Structure 1
């Protein structure tokens, strides 16, 4: 059996890396005052340690039982209760909520109304549906602390919310901006492309210093959102130019009756022309920019939205 030859990639920029993990495989740190964040290097969660209990924001299964260890560590150090009284879902996806079932039935679960509908549909015992729901905005107050929850329309998912901590100078918006890194496949596997593209600008309208993006090993900054937006804008600009310049005729002439082969040849050519300069520009700037499948699939997703949602590149038969 021949082993597959695995590709090499450029080193991850130091600026993209976070703090070292402990012997249990996690890091817990202070955001500001009594707001803390937890990471396993790939996923992130956050919690408020209040006088009346701990409010947990997301429960990624890869962090799993380390969430309890992180809460216990902070509670012992800060001299506060370690009882988790509330759990807020950023959205319904299992990779961010799949450890919610580790916390007992006494926990008050909070989320968007669409999150409740989707979790009831999915019927996953590891993701109990929230009892407390809201439509547009909701202020969660526990132990003298507050978190402002808001839904500004679908983006990464139909129910993804913004969590603002106005007294802690922080914003949590999951699966939109990966601080220091490119999005993974297909624009972070996002379901609403126009909503996703608009989300960073909406996020920057909030006042905050610390950004909790739900992924990877460090907190984000406002500069991270600016860099992310530049990366996306370059893809959009290149996709628009490629749609205007790549001639579909040779592909459909070549494949004749096999229309889907013609479509594939044309769209692959447009995608490659749009993605290549972005990969070159951001390699060494954003981690994993040189993992071509990420930028290429994200470019394909964006240009398809440009074609289907905005009408860009549509050729009308004469």
Structure 2
């Protein structure tokens, strides 16, 4: 019987219908098992909640797609201007800049670091003399230790990134040899990179990297061109700061945006679209917080369980937020159904406590 109840409860959760057991009786609280799925929330969103496996995700809109990857190479290289190149496997993105005496590498994702070495070798035989870290996270710079370090490259990052890497003592992410607090101008030969810090958005130390001649801006884990932002707003430590950085990026003098993720370069229109989505997300979560009763339909036996009350309330708030966003954004953003619940949860919590 427990297995039958579990399957029927899941049926109700997924389909929003009344289910019956083998004897034809309608299931309900009288048959509920603690910790097992029960009756669905009212007005179940069209997009399945976290923890429910989808048989098929929504198709990715054409506008979110980038050029295909050569399967033999495993990544592609895109020229961004004189001596500046993006390397991507259509999931992660990094850059390198060639100047008269060497190469500056900007981030080194471990997922394709060997291919990054190959991509540089296809362009130049000059040595790597500098490495720039966008921030401390291993998925973006964890391949740095596998680059050609034979010429003892200068490693540049923000002060906060250096602190985090000294704490982590990870040999795959060598500690920066040069760090800065506000701004740093890297001038090598005839090439220039302007590095700047705009506060804790994604994480402390996450910097803006601007190539003025090439009109290219690299900011990682803040804008996701054509796509739903990664879960929990890219695990931002400071959500109001993260939101303000998206707006700040829109004001920067760039034509090409390297975002660290997804399958193509970003444009100013992509940033404007994310500003619009962020505003809609904030409004939807805010309205849901105001209009959703704190207690509604929960088992009376759980009234003394504070966490149960919060869990039930925030799930209903997130569900209303998801429903509101689905009407407008379902077909506009790649991966809408992957992280919309995560992002509604993140925004509602930020509005409650930040």
TM-score past 0.5 threshold: yes
TM-aligned CA deviation for residue 155 of structure 1: 0.5
For 2:96, the equivalent position in structure 1 comes to: 47
5+ residue gaps in structure 1?
A: 76-80, 310-318
Equivalences for residues 136-155 of structure 1 within 5 A: 136-155=182-201
- Cα 1:142–1:257, aligned 2, differ >3 Å: closer, same or farther? same
1:212-291 mapped onto 2 (5 Å cutoff): 212-250=258-296, 254=300, 255-291=302-338
Larger radius of gyration: 2
What's the counterpart of residue 78 of structure 1?
A: none
Q: 2:137 is matched with which residue?
A: 93
1:308 alignment counterpart = 353
Gaps of 5+ in 2: 1-51
Query: Which residues of 2 match residues 1-318 of structure 1 at below 5 A?
Result: 6-22=54-70, 23-75=72-124, 81-103=125-147, 104=149, 106-250=152-296, 254=300, 255-291=302-338, 294-309=339-354
Please report how far the alpha carbon of residue 5 of structure 1 lies from its aligned counterpart in structure 2 after TM superposition: 6.6
Q: CA deviation at 1:287?
A: 0.3
Question: Aligned partners of 1:142, 1:280: CA distance in 2, in Å?
Answer: 50
Per the alignment, residue 16 of structure 2 pairs with none
Change in Cα spacing, 1:230 to 1:135, as seen in structure 2 (3 Å) is: same
Distance (Å, rounded) in 2 between the aligned partners of 1:299 and 1:46: 32
User: For 1:38 and 1:145, how far apart are their aligned partners in 2?
Assistant: 19
Q: Over aligned residues, Cα RMSD in angstroms?
A: 1.5
Q: Please list the CA deviations of residues 152-197 of structure 1 after superposition, one character each: whole Å capped at 9, or x if unmatched.
A: 1100011100011111111100001111111121111211111111
Q: Which residue of 2 aligns with 1:315?
A: none
1:34-62 per-position Cα deviation (integer Å, ceiling 9, x unaligned)? 11100011000001111111111000011
Report the CA distance shift for 1:251/1:155 in structure 2 as closer, same or farther (over 3 A). Answer: farther
Shift of 1:273: 0.4
Deviations 1:226-256 (A, max 9, x none): 1111111111001111111001133678321
Compared CA separation, residues 177 and 5, structure 1 to 2 (3 A): closer
C-alpha distance 304-82 of structure 1, shift in aligned 2 (>3 A): same
Structure 2 Cα separation of the partners of residues 188 and 20 of structure 1: 25
| Count of aligned pairs between the two proteins | 299
Q: Quote the Cα distance in structure 2 between the aligned partners of 1:197 and 1:32.
A: 29
Q: Tell me, in whole angstroms, the C-alpha distance in 2 between the residues paired with 1:16 and 1:235.
A: 19
